[in-house]
Structure 1
């Protein structure tokens, strides 16, 4: 019975499953393999300054999001749609690693850096923004393809 189920699954998939978009061979590390990593996305939280630039990510690839706050104001970012479209590996703040189940927003009361590592999963267009702001430079669009 087990062999029949496996044969049906292979037939339904139409052959072997292809590797993630950035790797030919994921190896032992799987999706976290070094060859599967995209460029780091950098955001700046500073009073009156642009948040960052729009980015396009590949579904199945591993990324880091580096958020730097200069301490000029108490600022946060939010992006529930984005945070639900990714698998969060960890958040690192002051060399402390946090492995959350979910994130809705991150707030900085003073200057600091937070680094989020994740795998982009759900295709679509998602917004990360400073809550309560209306300016075009106070948000970015993250497109997952």
Structure 2
């Protein structure tokens, strides 16, 4: 029931199903309510991010995740992905509008852009699966 209510609220904020894409971004996804985040880097032995990401609930964000191809690298963070509404994921110019995400993986060098709205306040993380190093994770705080 909570998920259905959240989806209904999101549709209302966007002006109804599909309206944001038919007429350009409006409401919650307007340019005045969207912020670009520092990119995350996936590279063997290098930190993912310089510092934690601080987000505001109800604000739209775009983040680039860049893999340098030094290995097959992934990011997991089911808690974070359940606390946001993903508008689109762009890979090689192809736009994907997923219902949900659990993790991401790069088999080779590339860039992925994710546009989303922060919804549920809390502390989350994205990390490389199986890694215990502090630099192989990024903390994300939604206020």
- Normalising by structure 1, we get a TM-score of 0.79
Contact preservation (8 Å) 1:41, 1:64: no
Instruction: Give the structure 2 partner of residue 74 of structure 1.
Output: 72
Q: What stretches of structure 1 of length at least 5 have no aligned partner?
A: 1-27
Contact preservation (8 Å) 1:54, 1:140: yes
Q: CA–CA distance in 2 between the matches of 1:139 and 1:48?
A: 12
Contact preservation (8 Å) 2:41, 2:47: yes
- Normalising by structure 2, we get a TM-score of 0.80
Q: CA RMSD in A?
A: 1.0
Q: What stretches of structure 2 of length at least 5 have no aligned partner?
A: 1-24
Q: CA–CA distance in 1 between the matches of 2:122 and 2:38?
A: 17
Q: Does 1:49 align with 2:46?
A: yes
* Range 34-43 or range 118-127, more displaced: 34-43
Q: How does 1:19-98 map to 2 (within 5 A)?
A: 29-52=26-49, 53-98=51-96
Q: CA–CA distance in 2 between the matches of 1:136 and 1:51?
A: 9
Any idea what SS the aligned residue of 2:135 has? helix
Q: CA–CA distance in 1 between the matches of 2:139 and 2:105?
A: 19
* Range 31-40 or range 75-84, more displaced: 31-40
Following TM superposition, by how much is the alpha carbon of 1:40 offset from its aligned partner in structure 2, in angstroms?
2.0
Following TM superposition, by how much is the alpha carbon of 1:42 offset from its aligned partner in structure 2, in angstroms?
1.0
Following TM superposition, by how much is the alpha carbon of 1:37 offset from its aligned partner in structure 2, in angstroms?
1.0
| Structure of higher CA gyration radius | 1
Q: Does 1:106 align with 2:88?
A: no
Aligned residues: 118
